[in-house]
Amino acid sequence: MNNDKLKIFPPTPEAHKAIQNKITQDGMKSHTYELNDEKQTKVFHQRPLQRFDTSVIISHLQTQGFAPTLCHPIRNRQSNTNFNLFLVTLPKIPKSKEIYQIEFIGRMRVTIESLRKKQSPGQCYNCQEFFHHSRLCTRNPRCMKCAGPHRSRECPKPKDTPPKCLHCNGPHTANFTGCPKNPVNRRTFSEAPENAWADPAIIAKIKMPPTPAPEPNPNPATQFIPRPVQLASNANPPTQEVFFKQMSQMMSSMMNSLFSQMANYYQKKYPTVSIQ
């Protein structure tokens, strides 16, 4: 139980179907998800004419052994006209995969492609909620245009009247992707607590990687360790001549150490070579 909603997780597909049948018989308000064997195959028919009748497409597909359950044109929301595209829904069976091999419907050459999945979460066209679709939703209908208790296609709102969002009451339709209540726009990050790095309890929860132990030096005699130059602790800063003298001493020490390391290296690699 969560927010006055009961969630049921059936252990088997048979239990899922039995629960769904009981809900349908009693007329309860609910929604569910498709089982894998109930999912449908959706494809696009491209390049037919706009006046092409959907019944003709269904008839031609049936004569070729397919069983389309739905066919409708794709509509352009901005211009309110139909694209040269038709969406065809078929049962998810091995035979439906052969539809991609079709090149002609009647005398019309067509191209068939799979329907790409949306990047945003699915939205029900019946109740306008997210993460499920209308085919398996028996909730009370809500309008996408005016948030009223009716289906969107039955909305009496005039076209010149601004829409109203069901989720945020904003001046847009409920399927607007920029809605602040849309799950895409609800990805928030919790703010970091103040003085987090000064709290010992928070620091203790951070797992720092262990510091590796230093490896022993195989030749400690030739290891060069730079030493800081000791400056005179007087109030006057060092002159340019003193500075260059200190730099010369440091460079001389580094070069002597480098030559010593090279000599040891060649003596180990070439024992017969004598370096003067």
- Quick: pLDDT tens for 134-163: 888 989 999 999 999 999 999 999 989 999
Which residue has better confidence, 79 or 45? 79
pTM of the model: 0.49
Query: What span, in angstroms and rounded, lies between the C-alpha atoms of 21 and 273?
Result: 94
Mean pLDDT of the 237-251 span: 73
- Predicted pLDDT of residue 230: 54
Torsion of CA 152, 154, 155, 156, to 10 degrees: 170
Query: What span, in angstroms and rounded, lies between the C-alpha atoms of 61 and 86?
Result: 13
- Predicted pLDDT of residue 143: 94
Domains in the chain with CATH codes: 36-114 (3.30.70.330), 121-195 (no CATH)
Q: Is the dihedral of CA 132, 135, 140, 141 positive or negative?
A: positive
Which residue has better confidence, 109 or 128? 128
- Model confidence at 1: pLDDT above 70: no
